[in-house]
Amino acid sequence: MRPATTLELLATPSEVSGVRRALSAYGADVQLCASELVTNVVQHLGEGVPVTVRVWCDDGGRTRLEVTDPDPRALPVLRASVGADEESGRGLALLDALAARWGVSHGPGRGKTVWCELEAGPGGGAVPVGSVVGPGRTATAGRDPR
């Protein structure tokens, strides 16, 4: 199993590109999902919020991405549709299209973790795969194709 990558940062627009660069070894789909989740923190909680981004791959080729922030109440919501003229609102739709599973976990302590799971496919791109929620965590939102 590949070691986990953990990034601790203050969520700002300039940090989003830094997260993408730091996760380049995981592929474009993981970079895009991480970028969208950190951007959601900036947009919905504000700049300067402490965030932890954690990514790891298991021996089966699955990649799990987690973005943890301190606000347990601001839950992500997948919008049914976004108008062509709207400038935002597509981030979770992208995540939903790329990940086999995603959701929100509330673990011990405060805050929440928005997570998604992807699998490395042929040519290094990520394609969806299902997996189980980690120990001590429960999915409270998101998509599970089972």
Three-state secondary structure call for residue 12: coil
Q: Are 55 and 5 in contact (CB under 8 A)?
A: yes
Over residues 13-55, the pLDDT tens digits come to 999 999 999 999 999 999 999 999 999 999 999 999 999 999 9
pLDDT number for residue 61: 82
Question: Is the pLDDT assigned to residue 106 strictly greater than 60?
Answer: yes
Residue 115: strand pairing partners? 66, 103
Three-state secondary structure call for residue 21: helix
Q: Which residue has the tokens 């995603």?
A: 102
Task: Render 26-81 in DSSP notation, one character per residue.
Answer: G-HHHHHHHHHHHHHHHHHH-TTEEEEEEEEE-TTSEEEEEEEES-SS------S-
pLDDT number for residue 73: 86
Q: Which amino acid does the sequence have at 110? A: R
Question: How many residues are listed for the chain in this entry?
Answer: 146
